[in-house]
Amino acid sequence: MVEPNNPTVSDNTESGALNMVKLTIDNCEVVVPEHTTILDAAKSVGIQIPTLCYLRDLNEIGGCRVCVVEVEGCDQLVAACNNYVLDGMVVHTNSPKAREARRTNVQLLLSQHDSRCTSCVRSGNCNLQTIANDLGIFYLPYEQHLAREGWDFDFPIIRDNDKCIKCMRCIKVCESVQGLGIWDLTNRATHTAVGTRGRAPIGKTDCVACGQCITHCPTGALRERDDTETVFDAIADPDKIVLVQIAPAVRSAWGEELGIPREEATVERLACALRRVGFEYVFDTDFSADLTIMEEGSELLERLGKAAKGEGDSRGWPMFTSCCPGWVR
């Protein structure tokens, strides 16, 4: 293995000079600062090395082994995401040895992955699918084993462990960035899986449904609950009056997904489109926000008045309020 902390050139840190390392990657001469990873060094000259589990400064564990490269003089392949460059290093990112190792590693991941891509929410936008196609994996030489674990499909976040590749990105972003620590590894060895910490039901955890685990998942193992069919059923029900509420973020960005210029993607056109879909009433979230602010102000004045008169809780606790679902949870 390449030692991450092995100095490569003379130490000029006291004078403030930046030590540079010269190496060769795929026959290209590369000069980068020391303590640069092989992955970043390759990227600096336009050489892309595939990754699955890697998240900069957050999840650099080299667990998926998809980024392995061949370094001359090293008996073993090296993970490019968490090994630093050395002066004079010669790296081959797409040698037969590295490519075969990637193919085998991805095939092993797929042996524990539900590969029914046509019914997957991430089909066409899946890192695992893209890498498998790039490696020319069109059949699986290994027997498939799926977890078949249950889930509470009423919760806003849906987890399908049959599509989980155990990259631990959801664990890291939830614990280190969001500070909640909802996800954790469960079981051991070949039965290792990702689930809620302590295997608690997701509805009983402190999950605030922020969605960061979904955003950072490279496959379809995590997704938001889709209520589209429920809405269409309600619209088709002649005994129901169906209304829709538009959040400010949707109002300002809805045209981007459809390729409509900003000056044409007006809220009036959005409201017209929603009416054509079948909604009887279209409201703006700002209307509800105004009502909420009025209620919050009235409640605060009432509490302060009681505190001034010594009624109720005379300490006059501060009042915190938000409409955010995460806050409510």
Which CATH number does the domain housing residue 38 bear?
A: 3.10.20.740
At 88-104, the pLDDT tens digits run 999 999 999 999 999 99
Residue 16 is given by DSSP the state T
Average pLDDT over residues 215-231: 96
Same domain, residue pair 132 and 103: no
Q: Is the dihedral of CA 270, 272, 273, 278 positive or negative?
A: positive
pTM: 0.81
* Average pLDDT, rounded, for the chain: 90
Same domain, residue pair 75 and 57: yes
Q: Would 77 be classed as within a structural domain?
A: yes
Structure confidence at residue 315 (pLDDT): 61
Structure confidence at residue 328 (pLDDT): 77
Q: Would 275 be classed as within a structural domain?
A: yes
Same domain, residue pair 121 and 182: yes
At 176-221, the pLDDT tens digits run 999 999 999 988 877 889 999 999 999 999 999 999 999 999 999 9
Q: How many domains does the chain have?
A: 3
Query: Helix, strand, coil % (nearest 5) of the chain?
Result: 35, 15, 50
Last residue of a domain, one of 108, 138, 171: 108
Q: Would 8 be classed as within a structural domain?
A: no
Structure confidence at residue 17 (pLDDT): 62
In the structure, what pLDDT confidence band is assigned to residue 9 with cuts at 50, 70 and 90? very low
Average pLDDT over residues 125-131: 95
Instruction: Count Cβ atoms within 10 A of the Cβ of residue 310 and give its class: 0-12 exposed, 13-18 middle, 19 or more buried.
Output: exposed
Same domain, residue pair 64 and 93: yes
In the structure, what pLDDT confidence band is assigned to residue 313 with cuts at 50, 70 and 90? low
Q: DSSP labels for 112-178?
A: TS---GGG-TTTTS-HHHHHHHHTT--S--S----------TTSSEEE-GGG-----HHHHIIIIIS
Average pLDDT over residues 20-27: 96
Q: Would 7 be classed as within a structural domain?
A: no
Asked if residue 270 has pLDDT above 50, the reply is: yes
Give Cα separations from 138 to 115, 131, 145 (angstroms): 11, 12, 18
Domain containing 57: what range?
13-108
Same domain, residue pair 25 and 123: no
Same domain, residue pair 171 and 89: no
